[in-house]
Amino acid sequence: MKLLQSIGFIIKYLLIGLGIAALFIVFLPEKFSKQQNSSEQTENQPQLTQKASIEAPSGLKASYADMLAETTPSVVSIKVRSKVFSLDSGACAELEARPPDTNACAVLSDGSGVIIDGQGHIVTNAHVLDKAATVIVELKNGAQLKANIVGGDIESDIALLKVDAETPQFLPLPENDQSRVGDLVFAIGTPSLGFHQTVTQGIISAKFFTRVAHYIQTDAALRPGNSGGALVNANGELIGITSLSTLSNQGEKLYQSYAVSANNVRHIVEQIKKHGQVHRGWLGLSGDMTINLNSISYELGLTAEQRQELQNRIYQLPFGKGVVVTAVAAQGPAEQAGLKPLDIITEVNNKPIYNAVDLTSAIWNLEPGAEVTVNYMRDGTEHSQTITLGQRGQASQ
């Protein structure tokens, strides 16, 4: 009898439990379906190994050693020695430590260079060869070669050397610049701190034009001695010739890492091979941005009426567009073509002009004698004039 009571008690609570479970299934079906699907996916999905979990995302490389092994032999170290100067000369006065027990000195300097073809041509920075009498190039394998200076360009800080040897490993200068801000880059050179050749990595931080060339700014670390070295992309292609500049900030030197765009270097090298230097075209005028109305008025001494007239002309243009001619060189190309102060240049060879840098950039790679088409506004009317460039001297455009 007691046994039957115990069995009935168990069956009673078992039925209550099943009833509660049925209620959950009826009112919360999605919860149970998700758990079931999750279980099925776990059973069907292959287990990840530890190796798979740490694989690099598609497109990224764990190492660039193979690329650099092919690239770095094209970058050389450069040792420069000047002629002997009298100890009381200005050249010796620049030395931080003068040689003892002598009445003469020689200036020593070093840098880096890039072999650009198989005929022994090497590009470096012009300042590396300052006062050079003897130039020795050291290859990565330790071989040393005497180099001759073909020529140089102080404005772009680019120079060309030639060694009397075949150079099968080289980095050719490209015709075009395909680099972009954010691209991964590597700087290769020999810092003048007793190091052998080094490689640093970074990205392109900015790109800009100034003076006579396009520049690439990078956060890849450069040190004194890296000047004239290579800036290459992730494929090992040459995109720039590195140059380290310094600024003084409260007595401290602040180093800034730049590279002259390699396609600009190609143009400069072609000029040096042809002339021994670079011949640059010249418009023969100076100008200021249209938005700098106050400085233009002050520079030209405009009356209130003249200022208002100029302002009215500027208002006819899109905001910020155009350079106001503030001076024209006597007998220069611009004057001979009929341009005058207060003309507003808006385009050169169909390139919009917004500032003086744009004006220089539009003709930076053109030689004297080349013709350019200049569009400008005068008295509210648009004009177009062909100008034959002269020889660039000390003028800015």
What CA–CA distance (Å, rounded) separates 187 from 117?
19
pTM: 0.77
**185 touches 203 (CB < 8 A):** yes
Domains of the chain: 75-163 (2.40.10.10), 184-275 (2.40.10.10), 281-391 (2.30.42.10)
Please give the pLDDT value at position 45: 45
Would you state the pLDDT for residue 44? 46
Catalytic positions are 127, 157, 227
Q: Which residue has the higher pLDDT, 358 or 84?
A: 358
- Residue 395: pLDDT band by 50, 70, 90 thresholds? very low
Handedness of CA 367, 370, 376, 379 (dihedral sign): positive
| Residue 86, C-beta contacts closer than 8 angstroms, at least 6 positions apart | 92, 103, 104
Strand partners of residue 261: 240
Mean pLDDT computed over 41-62: 47
Collapsing DSSP states into helix, strand and coil, what is residue 330? Answer: coil
Q: Specify the amino acid at residue 319.
A: F
Structure confidence at residue 252 (pLDDT): 66
| Mean pLDDT value of segment 271-275 | 93
CA distance 349 to 359: 10
- CB atoms under 10 Å from CB of 275, counted, come to 11
Q: Which residue has the higher pLDDT, 306 or 49?
A: 306
pLDDT tens-place string over residues 163-220: 999 999 999 999 999 999 999 999 999 987 667 899 999 999 999 998 889 999 999 9
Per-residue pLDDT at 3 exceeds 60: no
Least confident of 127-131, 158-162, 253-257: 253-257
C-alpha span between 74 and 65 (Å, rounded): 15
Angle between helix 304-315 and helix 293-300 axes, rounded to 10 deg = 140
Query: Is residue 386 over pLDDT 70?
Result: yes
Sign of CA dihedral 362, 368, 370, 371: positive
pLDDT digits (tens, 9 = 90+) for 13-26: 555 665 555 555 55
Q: 46 φ, ψ to 5°?
A: -70, 145
What rounded mean pLDDT belongs to the chain?
84
- The confidence score (pLDDT) of residue 25 equals 56
